Structure 1
Amino acid sequence: MTIDQQLDELGKQWMEAERRGDAEALDALVVTDFTLVGPLGFVLVKDQWVSRYREGALVTHEMSWTDVTVREYGETAVAIGVLTQRASHQGASADGRFRVTQITVRDGDRRLLAGLHYSPIAAPPARP
């Protein structure tokens, strides 16, 4: 299986687990020291990220992972793509479209998420 196929499969598992709110599946997809940097700069470690679903704080209605480009560096791969979601966090809208950097590492025959970094997608600033 090529790196692109591996990351496509991991992306499908990630999206499906988020849509189902499946904390156990998400927990199984990430390394022990997984870190997420959210779109506003906050940082969540693995337990905090997974707990949002365990506690029902985050509800994902729709999520897609598109326009993905992949670079491989030995046991590590970096994918950059566009994540679009319709979701709510503690009852407030968490809808958005984000540029996401996904860092994965090889674990035997599979890939695990080591980190995610979300950035809002905005137009470039106007030139003076």
Structure 2
Amino acid sequence: GIVGKEKWVTPQNTVVNEDGSIVFTPPAYEEMLAPVREDKIRCFDNAMDEIDGQLVRSISDLMVAMLVPAPIDATPDENTLEKSRNVLVSLWRAQEQNRALRAQVQTAQSVEEVQGIEPVTVDKGKLTATF
């Protein structure tokens, strides 16, 4: 039957016989899985690009904090660099998890399996570090 495969019914894989019966040849499972997999990989790429942007900003902020002399009236905050380091570690871990999950998407064998894998995203509010 074609239940659940209606969107795949095309003139190329459907034949109407003289008696009015319809013969549907479903596409190969890989053909149905490929677009779902591509969409999910694009989702992972977008999430990873966003984290990359945050990594660049975090590293830049950390470099500025280390290279620019603090104003004379600034009160030293011993935790500032540690907080910044924690932000970087969190971002690196998120990227590491996303690389592993993205690899799972590429080897997933069903549409449901692909759809069940979600990228790790970071809450920008939880990653703030001030310099």
Is TM > 0.5 for Structure 1 vs Structure 2? no
Q: TM-score, normalised by structure 1?
A: 0.27
Q: State the structure with bigger RCO (CA 8 A, min sep 6), 1 or 2.
A: 2
User: In proportion to residue count, which structure has more strand?
Assistant: 1
